[in-house]
Structure 1
Amino acid sequence: MSSFKHLRGAAALVLALALGGCFQPLYSESTNPGLVADLRAVEVAPIKDRIGHYLGDDLISRLNGTGETPPPKYRLEVTVALTSQTPTIESQINAADAATQIGKAQFRLIKNDNGAVVYQSDATAAAVYDRSLDGFANMRAGRDAEIRIARALADEIAIRVAAALGAANAAPSESVAPSAKIVAPGAKIVAPAAKS
């Protein structure tokens, strides 16, 4: 029994070491230096509503946290909708004691020089907050939930945009197959036009 445990542990170690070479942190030194420059060259179009303001600021920070503004090569267009749900009602006060806000964003990355859609997808995030009889406390808690949703959506969108740009900029020798695509839940990758 003891040798089986050692064998299983050794197999897990070998698997972990082998898979460790398959991943690269998003903000590490890149083997694809064009990716960092392309991320900085993404212009975030204005997004409507208060949550759009939070989301836009978070996206700008995640894509280009340097403060530099290189000429934009891409435009990121985002629409976001926010809904609230109050699943339970407190019987003693006849009011909801908690609420869930759900943010759904649709986004697309457009190449500025030819207007081609490079990548489009959607992302969803939710945040739960406690409600009370105090109206101001409810408003403040709801706004904090919006800020948390905006951060989560910005993280998801920035990661997907980075992955799409990384795949588009990958050297031919790095790609697994010419037809390989990044597929995320709800993602739609637009195929590039055939070269003539």
Structure 2
Amino acid sequence: MSLSDVRNFGLGRWIMTAAGLSALLLAAGCQVKPLYATNSDTAAALASIDFSEADDRVELEVRNNLVFMAGRGAGEPVNPEYDVDFNVATRYIGVLLDLDTDLPRAGRVEVRADFTLTRHGTGEILKTGKRRAVALVDYPNQEFAKIRATRDAENRAARELAELMRADIASWLGR
């Protein structure tokens, strides 16, 4: 082995060691968490949220779903630490018009919510957000069936909206 071979071997070993250490340092800064996992602190914080009162039926559906999901079925908290004030707006969009009657045969129910998470005692605003959910609906010929289909679509959109809001609030509280 010549002198240049020994020097190159030592330099290559040093470069490989430095690269390995830098890779370890980069990996040490990473955190791996499941996307939908909630630790006990986040679950306790979610269970201590008081949600605002509802003004209409769809908003009540959103509120009931939020209370159930946040409290894991335990109901509303006795001593809330956080408040969530939200307003829900519902929009009905007719699509797929029947050319003979000019009535929609299918539609979309869009439910939007603006919400604010505040600390219960101080009223300090912690997070604000906007979410929306869309449910598709087919309109049958019978009037009662049309009303029922619309209500079912409202319920589906309200449940999806509540899930989105809960995930958004949980991600903030889990920090």
Question: What TM-score bracket applies, with the shorter chain setting the length?
Answer: 0.7 to 0.9
Report 1:1-196 matches (<5 A): 22-27=32-37, 30=39, 33-67=40-74, 69-167=77-175
Task: Write the distance in 2 (CA, Å) between the matches of 1:84 and 1:56.
Answer: 20
Q: TM-score, normalised by structure 1?
A: 0.69
Aligned residues: 146
Aligned residue for 1:94, secondary structure, equals coil
Q: TM-score, normalised by structure 2?
A: 0.77
User: Which amino acid in 2 is paired with 1:124?
Assistant: R
Q: Which has the higher strand share?
A: 2
Task: Tell me by how many angstroms 1:66 deviates.
Answer: 4.0
Deviation digits for residues 108-130 of structure 1 (CA, Å, limit 9, x no counterpart): 11101110011110001101111
User: Which amino acid in 2 is paired with 1:26?
Assistant: Y
Contact 1:132/1:138, CA 8 A, preserved across alignment: yes
Aligned residue for 1:97, secondary structure, equals strand
Aligned residue for 1:106, secondary structure, equals strand
Query: RMSD of aligned C-alpha atoms?
Result: 1.9
User: Which amino acid in 1 is paired with 2:36?
Assistant: L
Task: Write the distance in 1 (CA, Å) between the matches of 2:96 and 2:35.
Answer: 40
Q: 1:70 to 1:37 in 2, by over 3 A?
A: farther
User: Which amino acid in 2 is paired with 1:151?
Assistant: R
Q: 1:66 to 1:136 in 2, by over 3 A?
A: closer
Q: 1:35 to 1:70 in 2, by over 3 A?
A: farther
Contact 1:101/1:145, CA 8 A, preserved across alignment: yes
Deviation digits for residues 7-45 of structure 1 (CA, Å, limit 9, x no counterpart): xxxxxxxxxxx9xx62325355x2xx3222111100111
Aligned residue for 2:95, secondary structure, equals coil
Task: Write the distance in 2 (CA, Å) between the matches of 1:59 and 1:26.
Answer: 16
Provide structure 1 residue ranges, at least 5 long, that are not aligned to the other structure: 1-17, 168-196
Deviation digits for residues 80-122 of structure 1 (CA, Å, limit 9, x no counterpart): 0000111221123432100111111000111011100111100
Q: Which 4+ residue blocks in structure 1 deviate beyond 4 angstroms?
A: none
Task: Tell me by how many angstroms 1:65 deviates.
Answer: 1.6
Task: Write the distance in 1 (CA, Å) between the matches of 2:65 and 2:73.
Answer: 13
Contact 1:40/1:70, CA 8 A, preserved across alignment: no
Task: Tell me by how many angstroms 1:149 deviates.
Answer: 0.6
